[in-house]
Amino acid sequence: MLDHVSITATDLERAQHFYDAVMSALGYPRVYSNQRGIGYGERGGPDAYISVFLGDNVVADRRHWAFRARTRAAVRAFHAAALAAGGRDDGPPALRPEYDPTYYAAFVLDPDGNRIEAVCRQPGE
């Protein structure tokens, strides 16, 4: 499947504050940081990673990135961390049976309007 994903941000300091919070809630540490971007995941490990790069503008066009959460509690922590770090709610933590009976997810917009999701497919808590 995917190896890595890049997300564009107009303010890297603001993006780092936001993504440090939400990725930490999902258990994905920051693995690199420089003047052009930041990255989260497990470099060299089996997990994919995401990069957030500085760009001139961001077109919020409803595409989104879904990150795997190990538990439903992590989905809730992701959502709370996103809102506390300047994100906007785009779908609170809940079961989404229209996708799958065990699909538990939350959706947020980052400070640039990128839509991100945390999803757990485990049954129950």
Indicate whether 2 pLDDT > 80.
no
Q: What CATH architecture is 4-55+63-120?
A: Roll (3.10)
**Kind and range of the H or E element at 66?**
strand 64-68
The set of residues, in sequence order, having a beta carbon less than 8 Å from that of 30 and lying 6+ positions away, is 16, 19, 20, 23, 38, 39, 40
In the prediction, which pLDDT does 44 show? 58
Mean pLDDT of 24-38: 91
Angle at 114 between CA 67 and CA 14, to 5 degrees: 95
pTM score of the predicted model: 0.89
* Contacts of the segment 90-97: beta carbons below 8 A, 24+ positions apart: 90/115, 91/117
Residue 1's pLDDT is what? 54
Residues 83 and 87: their CA atoms lie apart, in Å, by 5
Q: What would the two tokens of residue 99 be?
A: 């996708």
Is the pLDDT reported for residue 43 higher than 80?
A: no
Residue 46's pLDDT band (cuts 50, 70, 90): low
Question: What is the CA angle 67-116-34, rounded to 5?
Answer: 80
Q: Average pLDDT of 67-96?
A: 97
What are the sequence ranges of the domains in the chain? Answer: 4-55+63-120
What is the average pLDDT across 63-81? 94
